Structure 1
Amino acid sequence: MKKVLLFVYDSFAEFEVAILNTCLSGSEYDLVTCSPHSSTQTVTSAGKLKIKPDLSVNEVATDDYAALIIPGGTPFPLLQNSAVTEMIRTFFDKGKLIGAICGGPVLLGATGILNHIQYTASLTEDDSNYTSVMNWSNKREEHLVCDQNVITATGSNYIQFAEEVLRRLNVFPANTENPLKYFKVPTMS
């Protein structure tokens, strides 16, 4: 079975990846979680969900995964975590798919990846905690940006983010029109 790695950390915004995770559960992909801490240490999401990750970032074998997903939250404490930045950079350098949403692209910035791609994020130059790692000249004021092997999105654009990641993973054909309609349009089913 193929695998997708979800990076979880204290404060990560679980709602930004919930639909993606749900859709992966019915696919040929297993979802594996990793955190910057020991796999025995619980991570608490922005919505106060407690998650026990499968692995620590030190245990990740990049070649085992088709993609890395980085949700938003408050990643500031992780900017100097070399294990986190090395893991992310390895995914990029190997051409693996990376999806980062909302504040997640900050971690791409900490690796230098934002110097090589166009991106979007739910951040502005007023977010002074992140000024040192963001390449603001490469930021696009768009809801979703795909460049090389990286997909970035604003936090409220989580459905389109999920669709693009799922397309790139071939969970459904690239020409499928409105594949996540169920999540966009209320029905009685």
Structure 2
Amino acid sequence: MPRIVIALQNDYADWEPALLMAAARYWLDCEVLTASPDGKPVTSMGGLKVTPDIGFDAIDAERFDALIIPGGYAWEKGVAYDFTALATAFRDKGKVLGGICAAASALAATGVLNDVAHTGNALASHKKYPGYRGEAHYLDQPQAVLDAKIVTAAGSSPDTFTIEVLKALDLYGAEAQEELALFAAEHRG
């Protein structure tokens, strides 16, 4: 059973990991745990209060198949967690690493996007971080991008973010495709 950890912090964007969490738990029988910096409850931008399963100190790339980081206002407020060690560990172990919205830029800050295709809210957001040197690999597109088990997306793309994370975990089969197509139906021309 694949194990996924969702790294939450105060003011996280609750809609960004929601579809992935539901699909992984309900349809694909994955174990999905939530984490916060200190293991204490966090509150989303929308006011959703979550009591996490673990603290960030218990996130270990040996124990999990994927680390997923949703965006939110913590970065704009200057109080976001530094994910460098965790992101590097998951990348180096060949595990799935996902960042959406501001968290895609947080991954850019760690340097893990420097050599893989990626996207995010805007290239300018990534370029604010001195550790980012991946401009040549940035794809300016609304859909999520998967490369070398690293998934990035703009905050407006939780549907394709979910799909690409499931593909990275080798879980995107007919059942997931059928169920998730319903959520993307409004985007069809």
If the TM-score is normalised by the length of the shorter chain, which range does it land in? 0.7 to 0.9
State the partner residue of 1:29: 30
Asked if the contact 1:79/1:110 (under 8 Å) is kept, the reply is no
Paired residue for 2:130? 132
Change (3 A) 1:19 1:53: same
Instruction: Name the CA shift for 1:175/1:7 in 2 (closer, same or farther; >3 Å).
Output: same
Aligned to 1:183: 183
1:49 alignment partner AA: L
Uncovered stretches (5+) of structure 1, i.e. residues with no partner: none
Q: Hey, what's the Cα distance between the residues in 2 that align with 1:128 and 1:88? A: 16
| Distance across 2 between alignment mates of 1:128 and 1:140 | 12
Q: TM-score, normalised by structure 1?
A: 0.83
| Identical-pair percentage | 29
Q: How far 1:133 moved relative to its partner? A: 4.1
Superposed CA offset, 1:114-153 (max 9, x none): 222221001342x499343443343210222221120111
Map 1:17-166 onto structure 2 (within 5 A). 17-26=17-26, 27-36=28-37, 38-39=38-39, 41-76=40-75, 77=78, 81=82, 84-125=83-124, 127=125, 130-135=128-133, 136-142=135-141, 143-166=143-166
Counterpart-to-counterpart distance in 1, 2:88 and 2:119? 18
CA RMSD of aligned residues (A): 2.5
Residue of structure 2 in register with 1:6 after alignment: 6
- Secondary structure in 2 matching 1:90: helix
| TM-score when normalising by structure 2 | 0.83
Q: Mark the CA change 1:160 to 1:129 in structure 2 (over 3 Å): closer, same or farther.
A: closer
Q: Structure 1: how far apart are the matches of 2:151 and 2:52? A: 23
**CA–CA distance in structure 2, aligned partners of residues 132 and 154 of structure 1:** 20
The alignment covers a number of residue pairs equal to 181
- Residue aligned with 1:21, SS: helix
